[in-house]
Amino acid sequence: MTEVEARRARAGEDLALAFALAERSPRWAAVVLFYGVHHALLAWALERLPQAPTPQSYAQVQGLLKRAGLPRGVRKAYERLLGLSWQARYDPKAGDKALWTQALEEYAQVEAFLLGP
């Protein structure tokens, strides 16, 4: 299995888990949703730039996504999902349902891009 295939598989697993968790634990669903998007976009970028080294930080991922030609709006949705994931993990005052709702809004942009016209 190539890295792109492995990342796509992981993205599918994470996205399925996120939606399964949504009712019981929307906070953790938002965290896992970010990771599903992360792996899906990494697979997309690595498919376009096969010689690129595997990123070792979120900053490197963001640079790779930009070099691969990911539209700015989708990159911003990725950044907002990263922020929501951080907030879900570390901010005890963050509202669970609100985090999940915001995460779904950002995910919709990424999903629309990945599924294409």
Angle between helices 72-90 and 58-67 in degrees, nearest 10:
160
Domain ranges of the chain: 3-115
pLDDT at 103: 97
pLDDT higher than 80, residue 117: no
Does 96 score more than 90 pLDDT?
A: no
Which residue is listed with tokens 């376009």?
48
Are the C-beta atoms of 27 and 9 separated by less than 8 Å?
no
- Give the per-residue pLDDT at 70: 98
pLDDT attached to residue 95? 82
pTM, two decimal places: 0.94
For residue 35, pLDDT beyond 90: yes
Output the pLDDT for position 97: 86
DSSP conformation class of 94: S
Q: Is residue 65 over pLDDT 90?
A: yes
pLDDT, residue 101, reads 95
Average pLDDT over residues 93-116: 93
The pLDDT tens digits for 36-64 are: 999 999 999 999 999 999 999 999 999 99
Q: Which two tokens stand for residue 23?
A: 């009712």
pLDDT at 32 over 80: yes
Q: Residues 11, 39: contact at Cβ < 8 Å? A: yes
CATH for 3-115, options being 1.20.120, 1.20.140, 1.10.1060, 1.10.287: 1.20.120
Tell me the CA end-to-end span of the chain in Å, nearest whole number: 28
